[in-house]
Structure 1
């Protein structure tokens, strides 16, 4: 009887551990899927790798991106946005069905993702520069307190009309930013299709001592 009892206890223990590990595995999978869903539809996270948005954003910082920001509205002048540069900043790259799946599963890289500030929206005329050296939007000088200290609003002259459904974007560190200005002669003219915008930058969340809302 003792041998039978020991065998039954061992069997019960194995069954208990089997269900425990099964529960843990299911919880991990559900948590992973929930994270993917949140990042794909609500709030995503990105790490800043370049100096093109200094002093607003610095390399090494992590930011939140609100994917719901443009559900019922389009990006506005002054917004800091994250977008997929294929077809605009990367004029000869196109997104494939495989890329779409990879991005949805958060398996795709960030080599085609950019962070810039919206300067002009559809219908705007954006020019550099006015008599006082400032960027003009529809003939009105733009105040840009976010510019990198010591930078000019632009070192190159330009005048563009932004088509409907597109955006003219620039970095805050104008002397170190390759943005819409650099792509005027390329396919799409450096204008970002609104549908390629992935969301609006909300906050700097890392490092902790640099936490701040992004304006």
Structure 2
């Protein structure tokens, strides 16, 4: 085979492998807003892994990336790659994707989630949850609500409870603020940028006491 044909074959093979990796294993994303501070900072670049949910569902405490269920994203958050090269790289998983949301799962199917107890703590199935990762515990207590999460759905909230348009603020939507498990792209796994904060994203044990 001539060198030019081998080169084309290698490029095509590399692209196909990259698409397979993006589809089934790992995908790159970036943080567009302050809603997950201090855990995630604006413009953090993440790798999201999909293997954990091949045969299962998200757990309480997982930080998940999911498709916009409709009307959750502002214009800035929904911004697409600005040129053809970035778009092509996004398709094969080599450029961080936009147009998605990232929140923490605080309720799974069958849970009753309530805000809040007298100390301002989130209640899940009657058990108060000590969320040490919150940006501001005092901001957790608004708005008040009590919801029962349907099977196959999730209730998600940002760690920056005072500045996060999450499930709480979409109670009046047709979907009731719940996220379908099918909309979840994957689980936040590794922060790759900035390099000073490079590292794996640890799972929280805050919900271990929830029945």
Name the TM-score, length of structure 2 as normaliser: 0.81
Checking the alignment, whether the CA contact within 8 Å between 2:156 and 2:179 is kept in structure 1 is yes
Q: Does 1:50 align with 2:37?
A: no
1:118 aligned partner: 105
Write out per-residue CA displacement over residues 176-196 of structure 1, whole angstroms, 9 at most, x where no aligned residue. Answer: 100000100111111000111
Between the two proteins, the alignment pairs up a number of residues equal to 185
> Structure 1 residue 76: deviation in Å?
0.6
Give the SS at the match of 1:126: strand
> Structure 1 residue 33: deviation in Å?
1.2
1:208 aligned partner: 195
Please tell me the root mean square deviation across aligned C-alpha atoms, in Å.
Answer: 2.2
- Structure 2: segments with no counterpart, 5+ residues: 74-89, 203-211
Which of 165, 174, 183 is the matching residue for 1:178? 165
Tell me the distance in 2 between the aligned counterparts of 1:127 and 1:182.
14
- Structure 1: segments with no counterpart, 5+ residues: 1-17, 91-102
Structure with bigger helix share is 1
Checking the alignment, whether the CA contact within 8 Å between 2:63 and 2:103 is kept in structure 1 is yes
Checking the alignment, whether the CA contact within 8 Å between 2:192 and 2:199 is kept in structure 1 is yes
Name the TM-score, length of structure 1 as normaliser: 0.80
> Structure 1 residue 124: deviation in Å?
0.7
Tell me the distance in 2 between the aligned counterparts of 1:151 and 1:73.
34
Q: Does 1:27 align with 2:10?
A: yes
Tell me the distance in 1 between the aligned counterparts of 2:23 and 2:37.
27
1:167 aligned partner: 154
